[in-house]
Amino acid sequence: MFVCWIDELQWMIIACSDSRVDPALVLGLGLGEAFIVRNIASLVPPHSKESGHSSGASAIEYAVLHLKVEHIMIVGHSRCGGIKALLGMKEDGSNRFSEYIEDWIAIANNASKTAKAKCSHDSPFEDQWTCCVKESVNVSLWNCMSYPFVKEAVQQKKLALHGAYFDFVNGDFQRWALNYRVDEPESL
């Protein structure tokens, strides 16, 4: 039986449920070294009291307010099926393919629009896909900031938000920080 104390965790990792990208293995984490949440496409829904039950929101709340993690990292990955499905969705809904998955990945609709705007139409699909995965991580980082307790912890410099992209084909790992600036009030 394993017993681990998670009183002093520093990291929360939000990653995709894809079996090819286990965040503990990718990041070399041992038992009890991070609070890990996995879902389709590594998405974080925006804060909403109307959305009903949200395992993601409750996990973020627990990590920030109770575990007092110092870092949240959202890890996207190459060839993500959820993001591929997002890129294939039509805005008019004429090609609906699921009841739950489609509603879930719609969280990253802005990422799809940004990726399509950044990549020319003649760019290989793989490039658009990679761009969209990274943009979906950024969307989720900003969605984290929509939670009042996350925003407060970031403003107080008790919490830092990080995005990451793991290319499991080439073994590359990229990490970046959310570029959030707290403006100091001007003195007169």
16 marked as part of a ligand binding site = yes
Burial class (CB in 10 A: 0-12, 13-18, 19+), 55: exposed
Q: Would you state the pLDDT for residue 185?
A: 46
Contact 162, 73 (CB under 8 A): yes
CA distance 128 to 80: 12
144 marked as part of a ligand binding site = no
119 marked as part of a ligand binding site = no
Amino acid identity of residue 161, one-letter, is: L
Task: Examine residue 187 and state whether it is found in any structural domain, yes or no.
Answer: no
Does this model's pTM top 0.85? My answer is yes
Local confidence band at 53 (pLDDT 50, 70, 90 cut-offs): low
Average pLDDT estimate for 38-55: 86
CATH no. for residue 97? 3.40.1050.10
| Percentage of the residues of the chain whose pLDDT score is greater than 70 | 87
Task: Examine residue 63 and state whether it is found in any structural domain, yes or no.
Answer: yes
pLDDT at 2 over 50: no
Interstrand relation of 35-39 and 11-16 (parallel, antiparallel or unpaired): parallel
pLDDT tens-digit map of 54-91? 888 999 999 999 999 999 999 999 999 999 999 988 77
SS3 for 165? Answer: strand
Task: Examine residue 185 and state whether it is found in any structural domain, yes or no.
Answer: no
Number of domains in the chain: 1
| Structural domain span for residue 39 | 11-45+54-177
Task: Examine residue 107 and state whether it is found in any structural domain, yes or no.
Answer: yes
Q: Would you state the pLDDT for residue 4?
A: 46
pLDDT tens-digit map of 27-41? 999 888 999 999 999
Task: Examine residue 34 and state whether it is found in any structural domain, yes or no.
Answer: yes
Residues in the chain: 188
